[in-house]
Structure 1
Amino acid sequence: MEKRTINPWTWQKERSYHQAVEVKNPEGTLYVSGQTAIDDEGISSDADMKTQLELALKNLEKVIEEAGYDCKNIVRLNIYTTSTEALWPHFNILQEWVEKQGMEQALTLLEVVSLFETLTVELEATVVK
């Protein structure tokens, strides 16, 4: 697999993403459903945004690794949240996770009216091999 990032500007680097990611000759592509703060028994969290973000990241990692892929090869990450205002103070958690994984991904952040039950953040990813 060959991966190339496209950035006509430099400002997005501070926000931990790239404007575009091109992938050539992938061995496989994994489309991961939105991962949230749901525990192993299927119970939705009613915790604060920080706690939900941390659990959503763990769940995302778990699905990707179970599929035999690597988080460093996430090429697209979509973040859905019920409150960007509540997410911003904890955005560094996501940025540190991206850096730790060595990711180079395109990213979209959307504020939505609601998510399933009591959930406040959801992470959807495309991963290549």
Structure 2
Amino acid sequence: MSREEIGPRVVGGKLMYNRAVRIDEPRSWLYVAGHEARDDDGSIAHKGDMAGQIRLTLRRLGETVAEGGMTMADVVHIRVFTTDISACKAEYGVLMDELEALRCRPASLLAEVSALSDPDMLIEIEAVAAR
């Protein structure tokens, strides 16, 4: 498999997102449903804390990706849905730092929605990985 990042947008020396990621001849694809900041008991954690929800959501996403036999470095696309785009953009550095630490360099989407499945959710992230 080969991977090519197309149109990377870098801010402050860090990748903000890629406009596209080209994958040639992958062996496997993993489509990951939306993940949120849920504690082990299933309740939403970090209520009102965008940065905390970003970190836990990415951790939960990484756990699922690992269960699928891949790593976050294999993620080629993420969609980030938030109920408060201003708060999310204010904490976007947290998302960039977390993704950088995971060697995750996806194409991405950031969109504000009117509601998520739980009123305490501030963010939900879904992904596609390829290897």
Q: What TM-score, normalized to structure 2?
A: 0.89
| Count of aligned pairs between the two proteins | 126
Deviations 1:20-49 (A, max 9, x none): 111111110000001101122221233421
Q: CA RMSD in A?
A: 1.4
Q: Answer whether contact 1:76 1:125 (CA < 8 A) is retained.
A: yes
Instruction: State the alpha-carbon separation in 2 of the partners of residues 82 and 70 from structure 1.
Output: 27
Match status 1:13 vs 2:10: yes
Counterparts of residues 46-125 of structure 1 (less than 5 Å): 46-117=47-118, 118-125=120-127
* Counterparts of 1:20 and 1:2, CA distance in 2: 14
Task: Give 1 or 2: higher strand fraction.
Answer: 2
Q: Percent identity?
A: 29
* Runs of 5+ consecutive residues of structure 2 not aligned to the other structure: none
Q: Within 5 A, what are the aligned runs for 1:37-52? A: 37-45=37-45, 46-52=47-53
- The one-character-per-residue Cα deviations of 1:48-95 (angstroms, maximum 9, x if unpaired) are 212111110110111111211010111001100000111122111110
TM-score by length of 1: 0.90
Q: Secondary structure at the match of 1:19?
A: strand
Structure 1 match to 2:26: 26
Check conservation: 1:16, 1:98, Cα contact below 8 A.
no
One-letter code aligned to 1:13: V
Q: Point out where structure 1 has 5 or more consecutive residues left out of the alignment.
A: none
Q: Which runs of 4+ in 1 moved over 2 A?
A: 44-47
How far is the alpha carbon of 1:99 from its aligned partner?
1.2
Q: Aligned to 1:115, what secondary structure does the other structure show? A: coil
Structure with higher helix content: 1
